[in-house]
Amino acid sequence: MVNTVVRRVYHNLFRRTSTFALTILLGAVMFERAFDSGGDMLWDHLNRGKQWKDIKDKCGLPAEEEE
């Protein structure tokens, strides 16, 4: 089972240099996006309510009365 998957990946992606390079490139891009957004989500989850973006809606200038 695993063997067939490995062989398929090898034959379809890694066997030729062109597809191999493309796989590496695309894989790197996808991984980076996933890793970054995952890390950001974790950070935001751990710091709910503490960050600037959480409080900025409540921080507006009471400037409306001046106008």
Partner 1 sequence: MAANLCRVSGRSLLKVQNVVAPAKSNMSSFSKMSMGKKVLFGTLGAVTAGGAGLLGALHYSTTVHAGELELHPPKFPWSHNGLFNALDHGSIRRGYQVYKEVCAACHSMQYLAFRNLVGVSHTEEEAKALAEEIEVLDGPDEEGEMFMRPGKLSDYFPQPYANEEAARAANNGAYPPDLSYIILARHGGEDYVFSLLTGYCDPPAGLPELRDGQYYNPYFPGQAISMAQALYNEIIEYEDGSDDRQHGHRLLLLPQAPQVVCAEEQEDSLQAPSITPHIPPVADL
Name the residues that contact partner 1, by CB under 8 A: 42-43, 46-52, 54-56, 58-61, 63
Instruction: Give 32 or 40: the residue with its C-beta nearer to partner 1.
Output: 40
Residue holding tokens 């950001």?
40
Nearest to partner 1 of 34, 55 (CB atom): 55
Of 22 and 55, nearer to partner 1 (C-beta) is 55
Smallest separation, CB 21 to partner 1 (Å): 24
Taking a C-beta distance cutoff of 8 angstroms, is the pair 34, 28 a contact? no
Apex 21 CA angle, 4 and 1, nearest 5: 10
- Is the distance from CB of 44 to CB of 51 less than 8 angstroms? yes
